[in-house]
Amino acid sequence: MLKPYPRGLINEREKIFNYRLSRARRIVENVFGILTSRFRVFRRSIIAREETAVEVIKAIVALHNYLMHDRAGASQSGYCPNDFIDQELQGQVMPGHWRNEAHDGLHEVSNLGSNNYTREARQARNSYRDFFCSDAGKVPWQWDLVRSTSDPFDEQNS
């Protein structure tokens, strides 16, 4: 698990890391939100042998990917309409409608320890930071986004 650089006096490279980490987190949250909204098996604990649960999850992920791929060419989709997932426009995040549905199977994760991290975790975070700012890992709009806003990443990622 990676944690963002603390808010405050951080440089642009660290802001880019925080933004990219927040964006990745939002994508994962959207996927889990879509899956729990569309597949009832995720609305509570799966009562099955571990091997069976793994196969069920693999099948659902394959079906989800198929349905999302089919969605790419359509302006609207019954499986995942455009307003169903979080949208980001000009640095502003608009929550998707999946967030309005009951998701009893998803639970908030609170602190799971002392919140301290190891030297290896710090090195991993710095490696990602460096990659995101390198020619191989940057995205064209990240510098403009960080320079145009005071807080370029989702406020929910505090």
- Mean pLDDT of the residues in the chain: 81
Q: What are the residue boundaries of the structural domains of the chain, listed by start?
A: 12-157
With a cut of 70, say whether residue 3 has pLDDT above it: yes
Per the model's pLDDT, the better-predicted residue between 154 and 69 turns out to be 69
First-last CA distance in the chain:
15
pLDDT of residue 146: 83
Mean pLDDT on 53-82: 82
C-alpha span between 106 and 28 (Å, rounded):
13
70, two tokens? 């089919």
CA distance 43 to 35: 9
Share of the chain above pLDDT 90, in %: 26
Q: Which helix (H) or strand (E) holds 53?
A: helix 50-71
> Looking up tokens 């650089």, which residue turns up?
5
Q: Residues 2, 127: contact at Cβ < 8 Å?
A: no
**Residue 87 in this model has a pLDDT that exceeds 70:** yes
CA 71 to CA 58: how far, in whole Å?
Answer: 20
